[in-house]
Structure 1
């Protein structure tokens, strides 16, 4: 039974994009005009399966969630007949194995899945001498050609494929193509096997030195140990990859001439929706979090795990720094500590829990009365790549309350954001000015202010921050169909408010940030000892 229900947006006129935002929590579908106005949207949750260091979702669940949410937004006949194209934005670093008929061979491995850590380590390391866990020769080749290197945590597509090849050889042999989530959705929409430069990026087998010509490299394929014919052809994010299949047209009652534009993974789509001008950064606050900015160069900060990599903008790279869990900390607090979602009869009956958390946290002074929270629920990516890190609450006493704990969670994510922001700004080589705040977490006025105060950087909250993915997908569709050009986008990226750092809090947060980094240095060895042997026990999470 569908959980999706219609959210009305603003009135629009003219053509509409059926924009798809497939995230870890579920699938949102929106009808968006070419100027980024969201006319209507609906959301359908998708189940997440976590077992130790395994994190999976069923691709069939993705598709059913899409059909459910899309059916809701397409129910209005007047708006439905204005749809001209479908375009997807999806979570990245998901690996789907499909057979020759396009059928999934089991569940997809997600960006949280760390089973491939040992398998990719065997491909990264030299027998006798290594630099930061890498064979010097392999490290130099990966960095020179791609701008990055497979994650030692095994969380990316390279780690997933290495794991499947080493531990599930039968599944590997049966796999016709390894697809990312975006590639799988496009296959279901058009019947075409293809990938975009950003969806294929973290397989780390493409030569990215020329942003106009991203292509597979035989030496990188050999180092990973995957055959070229098991990977889809690469197309630009703005390419019209075909008409929508007839069964999709019939099921959603779309206009017969509806086409599909290739789209992008979430990091690239958000960047299109948030800020396309070179060196203008954005901060995405969702289940995970990242800093991104378009730049005209390929550059890598190996020490801090930051790189500029191929993206949805032709001829440009996206500098990006990834944080494993951001909003997931608040959903963890909501679902595992405060109460369980099943306590409500339906989604409509649920209060806006996040707004309640904002109200509660606002009662507490900056600094959370001495509490410091480390938001590493599932390891970390930037500025340290350590799968063994875990969350922690430090300095808790009998004098503290739930208000202190809730605010400390928000401040902990802000500390981690500042931690990755410092080397990120260093890679850009300039003061970026106000940072665009997007994603569900950026709807919180309090959280935007906390991040501004902790980081010392102004935060520019977009007019509709939760819709950045769908707006980015709509802009890509508009460019792909010729309705817009890239130069049109800055005028369409409107903001609601700018949050300036409070200079009176600078000394407090500088001190706490120093303690935060000290806690990492002292606790990392303990976490490494505790989590070298993953604990088992399946956890099924519906979001």
Structure 2
């Protein structure tokens, strides 16, 4: 009988549970989606009851499958960052879960961002001043939803709420806490200045525990899941830091890049490193590993926008260009798209500029440019932006990466993979396992249970599907273009702000 473990990831669009055996092979998966409620441009919430149902449904399904093929070692959790919800004394939600994508705190950000207090809070907590941050969301709620805010018994994230329903323990892991803007990552406790700003004290917040903290399901939950004995439940960490662990990118000189709808670039360090300009985050993985990096709003969503809203004729969906056809057109175009650049800021941007006012732009269009040039410029623009975040990480750590582990939907494209190698001037490796957050949670679980080589086995588990080396001739071209990309971004920031002001005044 195999020794099995379950990683469960509470994501923004769905919850996924994955069953692994002792060799890291995926033996089964279960997934259940739930909606993101966006009644207006700034609101992005989810129903905690629907999310709880999804967690229970996926766990119940995957536990049943595990019992047919082996012995279950442990269950470990991963979850989205930056969510908040308020509960009453019976631990019942009095709000929806307000997600990272919610932008209603944007006015708070404008007040705090360039204030000395805001800069100090970033240095203490490692969370950039942005509308995604629970710190900013709570200030907004205190000002805009005063009665509701005053009625709250506790403030927590969605993972804490779900863990409480399963274990009756109100605890938050240190990784999730470090992404709230309320937790001092140096002292490893709630930050006094941040709490004063949001008008809360320790009693309003969950107890913070290490990411290796071990819990147990209640007897009632065990009965619902048909568990006949106590299975260790590891509280785990946030999806971002676990993704680094799950692709075996936790050693010095290694960087993980994810490009899905949005994207992120991250590297692991041994102690907190903060950017003097506040451009990057610093979150906790475990007691000796911290993850620094930056998230971007605009990944593959820009590619989809180009197809659906620029190339597609209205009411002619039967003739829609496929993504493969778009890649084929881009492949025929020279590196640099004949001088056409694209700023991919279609939905504002987080790292490295942290602005909701920035906009997207094609720069350098001529009569000689066609669809293929625009496609290639979009692909390159997304990577130029991520590369500018990498340069900040190099500036902070004093070292360039020697290897990049890349995941996400983009990694299926040979063109985009090679573009990354050329623009980043770095070896790019695509891990075989795409369940990085769930696998990272499982590996963290082994560490929690005392396995001394818990992380060492990950490289054996994930394997490798593709490997790309930079083309030195193309690298030199992209180095020139990346400088122009950053230069034009800086020059246009004032223009972007003026456009945003004009739109808001209409």
The question of a shared fold, defined as TM-score above 0.5 by the shorter chain, is answered with yes
1:281 equivalent in alignment to 2:255: yes
Higher mean C-alpha deviation, range 76-85 or range 446-455: 76-85
Q: Secondary structure at the match of 2:216?
A: strand
CA distance in 2, matches of 1:45, 1:380: 26
Q: TM-score, normalised by structure 1?
A: 0.82
Alignment of 1:340-351 (within 5 A): none
Q: 1:458 to 1:260 in 2, by over 3 A?
A: same
Q: Match of 1:128?
A: none
| Counterpart for residue 378 of structure 1 | 347
SS in 2 for 1:49: coil
Q: Does 1:507 align with 2:476?
A: yes
Partner of 2:354, secondary structure, is coil
Whole-angstrom CA distance in 1 between matches of 2:491 and 2:157: 37
192-201 vs 175-184, greater mean Cα deviation = 175-184
Contact residue 135 and residue 180 of structure 2 kept, 8 A: yes
Say if 2:466 is the partner of 1:478.
Answer: no
CA positional deviation for 1:41: 2.1
Structure 2 counterpart of 1:407? 376
Structure 1 residue 367: deviation in Å? 2.8
Q: Does residue 391 of structure 1 match 2:368? A: no
Tell me the secondary structure at the aligned position of residue 199 of structure 1: helix
Aligned to 2:121: 142
2:423 counterpart (420, 429, 454)? 454
C-alpha displacement at 1:139, in angstroms?
A: 4.8
Matched, 1:197 2:174: yes
The aligned residue for residue 85 of structure 1 is 74
Alpha-carbon distance between aligned partners in 1 of 2:326 and 2:228, rounded to the nearest angstrom: 43
Separation in 1, partners of 2:228, 2:366: 61
Moved more, 356-365 or 520-529: 356-365
* Equivalence for 1:230: 204
Deviation at 1:231?
A: 1.0
More displaced, 330-339 or 170-179? 330-339
The TM-score normalised by the length of structure 2 is: 0.87
Q: Give the corresponding residue for 2:20.
A: 32
The aligned counterpart of 1:317 is: 290
SS in 2 for 1:300: coil
Query: Separation in 2 of the partners of 1:204 and 1:319?
Result: 15
Could you tell me which residue of structure 2 aligns to residue 179 of structure 1? 156
2:133 counterpart residue number: 156
* Residue in 1 that maps onto 2:302: 329
Partner secondary structure for residue 82 of structure 1: strand
Paired with 2:323 and 2:210, the residues of 1 have a C-alpha distance of: 37
What residue number does 1:129 align with?
none
- Corresponding pairs, count: 500
CA distance in 2, matches of 1:144, 1:58: 33
SS in 2 for 1:422: helix
Would the alpha carbon gap of residues 401 and 293 (structure 1) be closer, same or farther in structure 2, given more than 3 Å must change?
Answer: same
Change (3 A) 1:531 1:70: farther
Which whole-Å deviations, capped at 9, do the CAs of 1:269-289 have from their partners, x for residues lacking one? 112212222342221223332
Contact 1:81 1:254 in 2 (8 A): no
2:437 counterpart (469, 490, 494):
469
Separation in 2 of the partners of 1:23 and 1:336? 27
Question: Which secondary structure does the structure 1 equivalent of 2:175 belong to?
Answer: coil
**Residue 64 to residue 392, structure 1, CA distance change in 2 (3 Å):** farther
Structure 1 residues 506 and 222: CA distance shift in structure 2, 3 A: same
> How do 1:105-124 and structure 2 match up within 5 A?
105-122=94-111, 124=112
Q: 1:300 aligns with which of 261, 264, 274?
A: 274
Deviation at 1:470, TM superposition (A): 1.3
The worse-fitting range, judged by mean Cα deviation, of 239-248 and 84-93 is 239-248
Question: Contact 1:120–1:150 at 8 Å: present in 2 too?
Answer: no
More moved, 489-498 vs 47-56: 489-498
Instruction: Show the counterpart of 1:495.
Output: 464
Gaps in structure 2 of 5+ consecutive residues: none
Task: Give the corresponding residue for 2:485.
Answer: 516
Q: Secondary structure of 1:281's match?
A: strand
Secondary structure at the residue paired with 1:238?
coil
1:265 is aligned to 238
Name the structure 2 match of 1:47. Answer: 35
Residue 415 of structure 1: how far off its partner (Å) = 0.7
CA contact (8 A) 2:127 2:178 kept: no
Question: C-alpha separation between the residues in 2 aligned to 1:272 and 1:359?
Answer: 34
Q: CA deviation at 1:237?
A: 0.9
Q: Deviations over 1:104-144 (max 9, x none)?
A: 2232222222211223554x3xxxxxxx6112xx3564355
Residue 39 of structure 1: how far off its partner (Å)? 1.6
Contact kept? 1:34, 1:475, Cα under 8 Å:
no
The unaligned stretches of length 5 or more in structure 1 are 1-12, 125-131, 345-350, 537-543
Q: Is residue 2:494 matched to residue 1:525?
A: yes
CA contact (8 A) 1:58 1:107 kept: yes
- From 100, 103, 106, the counterpart of 2:92: 103
Distance 1:354 1:483 in 2: 44
1:403/1:120 CA distance change after superposition, 3 Å: closer
Q: Structure 2 vs 1, CA of residues 338 and 57 (structure 1 numbering), >3 Å: closer, same or farther?
A: farther
SS at match of 1:301: coil
| Secondary structure at the counterpart of residue 435 of structure 2 | helix
